[in-house]
A and B are shown apart, each in its own frame.
Chain A
């Protein structure tokens, strides 16, 4: 049984560009959460998707948007990239909104 998978593993973008990160949840999980982890810091909650809708959102600007597909996979989109968006982006899934979350290996985004 595959765990949470994320793609790509790492990527480099230029300031002002747009990026899409992808996440496939663990089998049987229908809730996906996204976190941003800056270097040397703890992860910060971006938003959570359940039943293809954004259910909760952290303190992130509208440049950060997402989507969840019928198969529960999810995308994180970031527009107008800033240097400060450079971070590890973690996806976590859970069976329902009430269970502990299982994390993927993350996508390392570097903005130059």
Chain B
């Protein structure tokens, strides 16, 4: 079974600074997707960024980028120019291959606080 581990229960960053959230996962599959989701107090789970395992290039979405190290099974999220609206719970998630049903396995989450 796949497992996803987020070793940082809480992180804090000053507004406009950069912060990196860590995630490691365990799988025997070669084809999979990885995601970072943001969950603000409103509870809505919002997709931040995704990475296909077969792509070596790290995904980037505006201020959000990932450092995907497939051999190390590491998938960190970097948030640049942090904004107050970035404060939320962040979850790393692994998606099983299509043949295994597109299930998401989530990590335990990292609470990000942004200081003005």
A binding-site residues for B, Cβ under 8 Å: 31, 33, 35, 40-45, 48, 55-56, 58, 88, 90, 92, 94, 97-106, 108
Cα A99 to Cα B33 with chains together (Å): 10
Give the chain B neighbours of A88 by CB distance below 8 A.
Answer: 43
- Chosen A-B contacts, 10 in total, with CB atoms closer than 8 Å, are A35-B106, A42-B108, A44-B106, A97-B98, A100-B33, A100-B35, A100-B47, A100-B50, A103-B45, A108-B43
Cα A44 to Cα B44 with chains together (Å): 15
- 7 more A-B residue pairs beyond the given contacts A97-B98, A98-B98, A101-B102, with a C-beta to C-beta distance below 8 A: A31-B102, A45-B103, A92-B45, A92-B104, A97-B101, A98-B102, A105-B43
In contact, B109 and A42 (Cβ under 8 angstroms) = yes
Give the chain A neighbours of B108 by CB distance below 8 A.
Answer: 41-42
